[in-house]
Amino acid sequence: MMPARLLLLALTVLLSPAHAAPDPRGSWSAAPPMLQSRAAHAVVGDEQALFALAGTGAGGRPVLEIERFDGSRWQVIGRLPGQGLNAPAAVLLQGQIYLIGGFGSSSNLPSSQVLRYDIKTAQWSEAPPLPAPRGGHGAAVLDGRIHIIGGGNSERTLNLHTRYDPATQRWQDLAPLPRAQGSPAVAVQGGRLYAIGGRSGHQDFGEVHVYEPATDSWSRGPDISPRGTAGAVSHCGGLLLFGGESQASHTSLGEVLRLRPESRQWEALNPMPTPRNFARALPFGAAIYVVGGSPTAGSSHESAGSAVVERLDLPCPP
């Protein structure tokens, strides 16, 4: 029989927080903040690092510094060419960061420019421009090609859906979104492209549109409460949605929602400690990071932003 003293020690170890079961709704912790405050920015990443580019910072000034996060600290590794961009889209593909469109920080005019940053050489080049200028659009990589969804120009909100093939270096127009919308959250899951929420003018949307590449067609997914500027990532075969902005209630949102595989309803997880619009979320390592964004609603593309980075540890659902 185990002596009483050893039995008590064993029970203490088993019941200690280190051995507690992980919270199925997720556990949040603070991560090292960026060196620059950012909103209306872009964040991309791979297995080695996260990269933050563009957007606006303190006083609404354009942020030109490119920052890299290796899991322990952020450092500036370069600068954007030009005078800055608000609400561009970005993806990381084949060792290249594609920074696509956006609004000029000084002119507020939409751009069709596509800038390409080589991570190894730290050199910028230009890729073929978008067929039409836009900003506030979503972007994702599906089957090795870049999809650009929605956004807006100087006159209207757009329903455009455009794809870039790096092998041919050509853009192609595909089936448009069922509704014109800016600032949708875009993610890829199960070989399909999801466009979640979005807005036009002062109206927010809660529709979820699902693109099937085999048929070049859109179908309807389960709705969310209306919002724009949220972030979305694929996780454990499902989708996660982070934050955003409700124009109706004039609030930045801290909600985290999960759509499980084959489910028709979103479920609420533990909210972000810091509610944010332009919530840029990415998986990195064993966690998901929400990088920058603005806690202040209604500041559009001239937000002071924040340097806040928060980490979500979330077990896969059973």
What is each CA distance from 301 to 41, 109, 284, in whole angstroms?
Answer: 9, 12, 27
The pLDDT assigned to 299 comes to: 65
The pLDDT assigned to 59 comes to: 80
Long-range pairs of 125-134 with CB within 8 A, sequence gap ≥ 24: 127/98, 127/164, 127/169, 128/164, 128/169, 128/170, 128/171, 130/100, 130/101, 130/162, 130/171, 131/162, 131/171, 131/173, 132/158, 132/160, 133/101, 133/109, 134/101, 134/110, 134/158, 134/160
The pLDDT assigned to 301 comes to: 59
DSSP single-letter state for residue 38 = B
CB 132 within 8 A of CB 151: no
Cα–Cα distance for residue pair 68/192, rounded to 1 Å: 29
The pLDDT assigned to 304 comes to: 79
Q: Which residue has the tokens 């099937």?
A: 212
The pLDDT assigned to 119 comes to: 96
The pLDDT assigned to 7 comes to: 43
Both tokens of residue 284? 């990195």
The pLDDT assigned to 105 comes to: 82
Stated pTM of the model: 0.92
Q: Which residues of the chain have pLDDT under 50?
A: 1-2, 4-16
Class of residue 304 by CB neighbours under 10 A (exposed 0-12, middle 13-18, buried 19+): middle
The pLDDT assigned to 14 comes to: 42
For the domain with range 24-313, which CATH number is right: 2.120.10.80, 1.20.1250.20, 3.40.50.2300, 3.40.50.300?
2.120.10.80
Class of residue 214 by CB neighbours under 10 A (exposed 0-12, middle 13-18, buried 19+): exposed
Give residue limits of the domains in the chain. Answer: 24-313
Amino acid letter for position 221: G
Q: β-strand 96-100 against 74-79: which pairing, if any?
A: unpaired
